[in-house]
Amino acid sequence: MKKALLGSTITLTMLGTTHALAGGLWLNEFGDFSGGRASAGAAAGTDEAATIIHNPASATRIEGNQLFGSVAALVPGQKFNVQESSPLVGDDNGGQAGQFTPGASLAYVFDNGWTNWSTGLSVEGLAGAGLNYNDDWVGRYQATEVNLLVLAVGATLAYQVTDNFSIGVKPQVFYSTLTQKLRLPSSLITGREDVRVKLDGDDVGFGGMVGAVYDFDNGTRVGISWQSNFDIKFDGKLRVNGNIGDGLQVNTDTQLTMAQNVRLALHHDVNDRLGVDFTVGWDNWDELDNIFVSVKGAGGAPIVTDWKDTYHYAAGFQYKLNDDWDVTAGIAYDTNVVSANERVPELPIDEQIRYNAGARYHMSDSLMVGGYVNYTDLGSAKIDADFWSGEYSTNQMFQLSIFANWTL
């Protein structure tokens, strides 16, 4: 009985967890100046070392040695509105579920002395989530707490084919860590209080990015980047506390493939002060048709998913106020990855709209500092579960990022 119960728990837990990695939690802003315009045009190249985070080919735009660093604070706001529920789950709305999440990124482009070749290193967060619902809320059998982080470390190599055209490649190592808590309805078996379940795990995976940038010599640049898919195998432990299997611990594996994505970007200088930027993108979540979940020593089974490809659109501008100050602003839109009857509280997002604005100050010829603010509307994110339904009356994200870029 315990093994069957644990198998069901692992299946439910990991199904929700992998949704938390899906479309919408891929970060498109990485703390640099382009984040102030929702990263519109970023894949076409920027003038900071962080350009290699968006497109490795754009490293050829950087002269000499440059170091970039940023820190960010992400403040989510998620509050669920229960519309229908069974007495079996009650009617607690979960309270304010969003948790503060810090962020950071680092990039270094250096002069290697090779003609037409550019190199660099970067570290950035690709995805993340922090949610903490009330212990007795209606969705407690899906999740009460989720903490997720996906980091990428990349080494960039770019080649300037002609004065106008560059290509680049960036092999990457990914580190992912996950903690998720939920309740199990042991009352169905014992008539006693819920069992508390905690799953945690981490993994290292491998992938890469390739890109190209073309400069038309009239203030117009286009760029394209392709981020490969990569495999994650969360190798961790599931712990049970409660009436059934109190203190029991088992090893688990969960295998899934993260979606590939493409970004196509355009930058155009209207004049020597004003530039406009655009990006369109595609995330191939439809290719992830199942997730393999197993208990070590006890076998496993695939979980069928029903995710859709998502599409990304961004537009923005940057304006040079004077020799010292630049300002920027932009808007972005992402389509929805999942329908209401497939959505889970670990991924409380619908179609998204992001509004961004930022500024940058040239402190000297070798140092630029700046920051931006972001407000994201994550949509109503309606959920139709078996014993309850509703939507998020509050579903938003605020982000504040500050950065510095040094020419060394």
Quick one: average pLDDT of 393-399? 90
CA-CA distances (angstroms) from residue 26 to 132, 199, 341?
A: 20, 22, 22
pLDDT per position as a tens digit, 301-312: 445 567 788 999
Are 267 and 42 a contacting pair, CB within 8 Å?
Answer: no
Q: Which two tokens stand for residue 210?
A: 């390739």
In this predicted structure, the answer to whether residue 5 has a pLDDT above a threshold of 50 is no
Quickly state the pLDDT bin for 51 (edges 50, 70, 90). Answer: very high
The identity of residue 127, as a single letter, is A
**What pLDDT was estimated at residue 372?**
97
* Cβ partners under 8 Å of residue 288, min gap 6: 22, 256, 257, 258, 259, 305, 307
pLDDT per position as a tens digit, 175-231: 888 787 888 776 555 556 777 878 777 888 899 999 999 999 889 999 999 999 887
Q: Is the dihedral of CA 225, 231, 237, 241 positive or negative?
A: positive
Mean pLDDT of the chain: 84
CA gyration radius, the chain: 23
In this predicted structure, the answer to whether residue 241 has a pLDDT above a threshold of 90 is no
Are 350 and 335 a contacting pair, CB within 8 Å?
Answer: no
Please report, rounded to a whole number, the percentage of residues in the chain having pLDDT higher than 90.
Answer: 46
In this predicted structure, the answer to whether residue 63 has a pLDDT above a threshold of 80 is yes
Q: Dump the DSSP string for 58-78.
A: GGGG--S-EEEEEEEEEEEEE
In this predicted structure, the answer to whether residue 287 has a pLDDT above a threshold of 80 is no
Quick one: average pLDDT of 121-142? 85
Q: What is the pTM of this model?
A: 0.88
Taking the C-alpha atoms of 23, 29, 31 and 34 in order, what is their torsion angle to the nearest 10 degrees? 180
First to last CA, the chain: 64
Q: Dump the DSSP string for 192-210.
A: SPPEEEEEEEEEEEEEEEE
Are 237 and 249 a contacting pair, CB within 8 Å?
Answer: yes
List the domains of the chain with CATH numbers: 2-407 (2.40.160.60)
Are 249 and 236 a contacting pair, CB within 8 Å?
Answer: no
Q: Report the alpha-carbon distance of residue 118 to residue 113 in Å, rounded.
A: 9
Are 313 and 280 a contacting pair, CB within 8 Å?
Answer: yes
Q: Which two tokens stand for residue 19?
A: 């949704």
